[in-house]
Chain A
Amino acid sequence: MSESLDHLSGDTWVDRIVAAVGVVARWLCLLLVLLQFGVVVARYLFETGSVMAQEAILFTFGAMFMLALADALKNGRHVRVDMIFHGISHRAQRRIDAVGIVVFLLPLCSFMLYLSVPYVLNSWAALEGSREVGGLPGVFLLKTVILVALVLVIAQSLVTLRRCIQRWSE
């Protein structure tokens, strides 16, 4: 069914950047698995461990799904209530997506971006690090991922919106 939603993905520079960031998120997935496995082996077989490694896992995890948000949007992976959507024409589906982007997605993501900017700037101002002793220093970088992810989702939805409007009555 998602094949019919061809307006979600295209060939603009935004699509390409989102796809590239999606690839980064993929490798973070593998890194997450290997890191966690490494920590388990270290803990149970070699009786060592570090707060830093533990936090690196959470960093990887958080960055992974945030960076995949736009990629999931582009590939139609955000779940929908299918009951009506499944049965209507492609044109109607594109129109719903166009209206949804304008009414729901853009206001929501822009508002979250607007709230997040000062939140992240504060973190940068303090060059915020972990609260744990021996934790990772770059919490401000992790928080910056929030901005990157939201900007990508907004950009991806804008190019999708343009495709929907171009093909409005097609």
Chain B
Amino acid sequence: MDLANVFLSLFVIALLGCLMSGFPVAFVLGGVSLLMAGLGAVFGVFDTSFLIAMPQRIFAAMNNDILLAVPLFVFMGAMLERSGIATELLDGIGRLFGKRRGGLGYAVTLVGALLAASTGIVGATVTTMALLSLPVMLKWGYSKRLASGSICAAGTLGQIIPPSLVLVLLADTISAAYQKSQLEQGIFSPDTVSISDLFAGAIVPGFILVLAYLTYQIILATLNPNVSPAPPEEEAIDDISTRDLLMRLVPPLALIIGVLGSILGGVATPTESASIGAVGAMILAGFGTERRATANTGLLLLGAAVVLKLFIADTGLSLAIERVLVAIPMIGFLALLLIALRSLFVSGNLDRTCVETARLSAMVFMILIGAAMLSLVFRGFGGEETVHHLIESVPGGPMTALAVVMLVMFVLGFILDFIEVIFVIVPTVAPVLLLSGIDPIWLAILISLNLQTSFLTPPFGFALFYFRSSAPPEISTRDIYIGVLPFIGIQLVVLALVATFPDISTWLPYALR
């Protein structure tokens, strides 16, 4: 073992040790790297000129037009959440299913899947549902284990169901890795992987996952009525007309589906769609539940402008007339947007959403900067070749290597959040794996399913931590651990399915291209 390899091993050990201290991850990643680089330079095994690229790396992060989608999606999600629309969805879907056996459980799963769109970070959905749905479930006599398991599992759906933050970040690292591996093969006009590809790839596996969760809950409710009973008779759910319910549910659902649809349909880029989603969320949140009709008018005006535009395009009118016609509904829309903005400003929801977005983006991008430092130092020590050799020396070919990598990520998922795994681990291992001919979309979907399962697995899963901190003390930690086991089983089955039949994840994206 030469000195550089000694340093590499030291580097990895020091990183893991220092991360465990609990000091913010972004600074530990960069700080440990810098210290190791300094030490390596003293011993003459590190060439400090590797670090000169650092300012360019920072500036590249500021100009990253893939990751530009991050704050926009976060803004949309935070706006829906902070203004109570997420709560409203949970409540509304709960009412829709609540009267039958197991209904609240279904509601939790469905809302978890829908809010996937909005929250991104594991904690938010779990916390929201633990505070809102759990008390009702317990009051109605749901089994503590089923209730805990359903909420934790539903909370992690946000990792896989688009537009999830995991997939946005993965798109950036996987496409970089993919281009790198193609360049090494001598392909100088490399194919790319986009956010839309990953979104499309995640749809079918995500759908299977939700269906599997629901099926499990339905079977339980049928076989054993006591674990998820219907509401007690005296619990008169204040009756709300179906029309009112639809008025509440349809607009946010239409918005989320519209955003996703326009990305998958290739109509707009993810960044563009996210901005429409963010503005739509502002309209919905700005007018609140009481003035939902006004908000609907706003969204319809925007829709009208789009339809008008599509319609006129065939009639052969001059561009000037076309613009005037399209401008008419847009003016109405903008007027309503201004009113919504004003009311959001007064209620403080605008400020709360912007605070959330700015700080969360800062957190994500500081990790990106720390990871950039790490990757420069890692490369300086020859770490890339070492990882390359390590992966190639795994007996049994690329598939075994993939399995080993997945196992490592699964374990790392216990201590690291997905952001760190994606920015640090994926760029080091993905190029080598892709070099052996593994499909990049398939790899990305496997990684996100894998991380999602990891966040659900006791004793260290993130979702369980968040659930523990917001669940009442009468739910024991043991209840939580046992409650999630069936869901982990479902996860593993779906993971195995996607691993065995890559088409589940790759068919849709390639069909849409």
A residues at B contact (CB < 8 Å): 1, 22, 25-30, 32-34, 36-37, 39-41, 43-47, 57-58, 61-66, 68-69, 71-73, 75, 77-86, 88, 93, 96-97, 99-100, 103-105, 107-109, 111-112, 115-116, 119-120, 142-143, 145-146
Contacts and interface: CB of A to CB of B under 8 A. Distances in A.
Contacts of A62: 59, 61-63
A101 to B, nearest CB: 8
B65 A29 contact: no
Contact of B367 (A30, A79, A100): A79
Interface in B444-477: 460, 465, 469
A45 B330 contact: yes
A49 to B, nearest CB: 11
Contacts of B319: 47
A61 B309 contact: no
B55 A1 contact: no
Residue from A37, A82, A105, A115 whose CB has the most chain B CB atoms within 10 Å: A37
Nearest to A98: B23
Nearest to A30: B354
A29 B354 contact: yes
B415 A36 contact: no
A105 B59 CA distance: 19
B72 interface: yes
B363 A61 contact: no
A104 B30 contact: yes
Query: Chain B, interface size: which category?
Result: 35 or more
B358 A96 contact: no
A168 B275 CA distance: 46
A73 B27 CA distance: 11
- Which 3 interchain pairs have the tightest Cβ spacing? A85-B22, A104-B31, A62-B62
Contacts of B282: 33
Contacts of A93: 22
Given A40-B268, A112-B58, 4 more contacts: A32-B71, A47-B319, A68-B358, A78-B26
Given A33-B279, A65-B71, A28 B31 contact: no
Contact of A96 (B23, B354, B364): B23
Contacts of A107: 31, 34-35
Given A29-B71, A33-B279, A108-B34, A65 B63 contact: no
Interface stretch (B13-21, B132-140, B180-188, B485-493): B13-21
Contacts of A112: 30, 54-55, 58, 369, 373
A84 B360 contact: no
B276 A37 contact: yes
B360 A77 contact: yes
A165 to B, nearest CB: 16
B333 to A, nearest CB: 9
Contacts of B323: 46
A120 to B, nearest CB: 8
Given A65-B365, A72-B359, A115-B54, A84 B272 contact: no
Interface string B255-297: 0000000000000100110111011001000000000000000
A146 B21 contact: no
A108 B373 contact: yes
B23 A80 contact: yes
A41 B330 contact: yes
A22 B363 CA distance: 13
Contact of B63 (A58, A64, A116): A58
A112 B420 CA distance: 20
A7 to B, nearest CB: 13
Contacts of A71: 358-359, 362
Residue from B19, B59, B323 whose CB has the most chain A CB atoms within 10 Å: B59
Nearest to B23: A100
Contacts of A43: 272
B12 interface: no
Contacts of A33: 72, 75, 275, 278-279, 282
B401 interface: no
A37 B330 CA distance: 12
A108 B359 contact: no
Nearest to A28: B358
A26 B353 CA distance: 9
B23 A79 contact: no
Contacts of A75: 359
Contacts of A63: 62
B22 A142 contact: no
Nearest to B53: A115
A22 B27 contact: no
B309 A45 contact: yes
B25 A79 contact: yes
B419 interface: yes
B318 interface: no
Contacts of A68: 358-359, 361-362
B32 A104 contact: yes
Contacts of B52: 115
Given A36-B271, A80-B23, A116 B55 contact: yes
Given A84-B21, A107-B31, A26 B354 contact: yes
A103 B71 contact: no
Nearest to B63: A58
Contacts of A27: 354
A100 B28 contact: yes
Residue from A30, A39, A77, A81 whose CB has the most chain B CB atoms within 10 Å: A81
A37 B415 CA distance: 37
B350 interface: yes
Nearest to A123: B59
A99 B23 CA distance: 9
B201 to A, nearest CB: 24
A74 B68 CA distance: 24
Residue from B58, B272, B305, B359 whose CB has the most chain A CB atoms within 10 Å: B359
A82 B122 CA distance: 14
Contacts of B369: 112
A64 B23 contact: no
B466 to A, nearest CB: 10
Contacts of A142: 62
B417 interface: yes
Contacts of A82: 22, 465
B358 A64 contact: yes
B225 interface: no
